[in-house]
Amino acid sequence: MNYKLNVPLSPKLEKYRDRIESTIKPYIKITIENNEPANWWQSKFGGLPYLPKGFEYPKTPQGDYFFLLAQINFSEVPPLEGFPDRGILQFYLPDDELYGLSFDSGEDIFKILYFPELDLNLENIITNYDFLPANIEYFPILGSCSLQFTKKYGLITDCDEGFIKFLGEDFYKLFREDEEVWENYINLCAPHGHKIGGYHDSFQSNDPRPKCESDPYTLLFQMDSDGNDAIDISWGDGGVGNFFIKESALKKLDFSDVVYEWDCV
């Protein structure tokens, strides 16, 4: 589908309008709510998860407990092609200094769970989590909050490997050398924030996705650093965390092979 920009462009960007518009894709913007904590079934950042009774709480390979990073109830999310329209998707990380990421070519430690059908009977889900450690030292989230979702449309970011391919070497040179062009484009593409789908952000200006042209990885979920009265999120020194999945796996709702990455300034 071909999308159009409904905003004026600066004179320096206008000549590239067709190329820029060719990169537009829809995504879901996630907004933190400052209201009461979410219930067991609602979407949330942090807090305690929805888990059916009898389901073993996730642990790291070393036997330590994971903690809930995010829970997305897709029945609350506007329709987004290729993504679930129901069920709960959960992201878990360990409480360690690197948030489960390995920088020495080891295996990244994180967990993703998906429950396509929900049991809405309170008696059938876990509500007592007293077994979890009370003190969390390194987790990127302090607190918990509910979420709101809005469908948006975004442009390709400069950390996406397709940036030069779609916009051209001439645009890339202008983007890197002209501060006005850089600022105008960054304001248009809005790489920052929490999102489902779309284009990812990276403070290291790289694309961490494995090369797989026949079955490319797409952005599944991005959580940015954020701080307000409801919650405090910090990826290192104000960075961003991303999860990527192959398009074919997402179509099958198979979340067993996801790529996780975070970075900061």
Domains of the chain (ranges; CATH) run 11-263 (2.30.320.10)
Q: Are 193 and 240 in contact, with CB atoms under 8 Å apart?
A: no
Whole-number Å distance between alpha carbons of 171 and 169 = 5
Which range (77-81, 133-137, 172-176, 221-225) has the least confidence? 133-137
Q: Are 86 and 116 in contact, with CB atoms under 8 Å apart?
A: yes
pLDDT value at 36 more than 70: no
Percent of the chain predicted with pLDDT > 90: 75
Strand partners, 25: 154
In the prediction, which pLDDT does 178 show?
A: 95
Which range (42-51, 189-198, 227-236) has the least confidence? 227-236
pLDDT value at 214 more than 80: no
Averaged pLDDT for residues 56-72: 96
Averaged pLDDT for residues 114-133: 96
- 3-class secondary structure per residue, the chain: CCCCCCCCCCHHHHCCHHHHHCCCEEEEEEEECCCCCCCCCCCEECCCCCCECCCCCCECCCCCECEEEEEEEHHHCCCCCCCCCCCEEEEEECCCCCCCCCCCCCCCCCEEEEECCCCCCHHHECCCCCCCCCCCCCCCEEECEEEEEEEEEECCCCCCCCHHHHHCHHHHHHHHHCHHHHHHHHHHHCCCCEEECCCCCCCCCCCCCCCCCCCCEEEEEEEECEECCCEEECCCCCCEEEEEEEHHHHHCCCCCCEEEEEECC
Whole-number mean pLDDT of the chain?
92
pLDDT band for 132, please (50, 70, 90 cuts): very high
Residue 54 CB neighbours (<10 A): 7
Percent of the chain predicted with pLDDT > 70: 96
pLDDT value at 111 more than 70: yes
Question: At 255, phi and psi to the nearest 5?
Answer: -105, 30
Averaged pLDDT for residues 190-208: 87
Encoding tokens for residue 169? Answer: 């070497």
In the prediction, which pLDDT does 209 show?
A: 83
In the prediction, which pLDDT does 262 show?
A: 94
pLDDT band for 107, please (50, 70, 90 cuts): confident
Q: Are 67 and 132 in contact, with CB atoms under 8 Å apart?
A: yes
In the prediction, which pLDDT does 1 show?
A: 67
pLDDT value at 265 more than 80: no
pLDDT value at 205 more than 90: no
Strand order in the sheet with 194-196: 111-115, 88-93, 67-73, 44-45, 145-154, 25-32, 194-196, 217-224, 240-246, 258-263
pLDDT band for 135, please (50, 70, 90 cuts): confident
- At 139-179, the pLDDT tens digits run 999 989 999 999 999 999 999 999 999 999 999 999 999 99
Whole-number Å distance between alpha carbons of 145 and 121 = 22
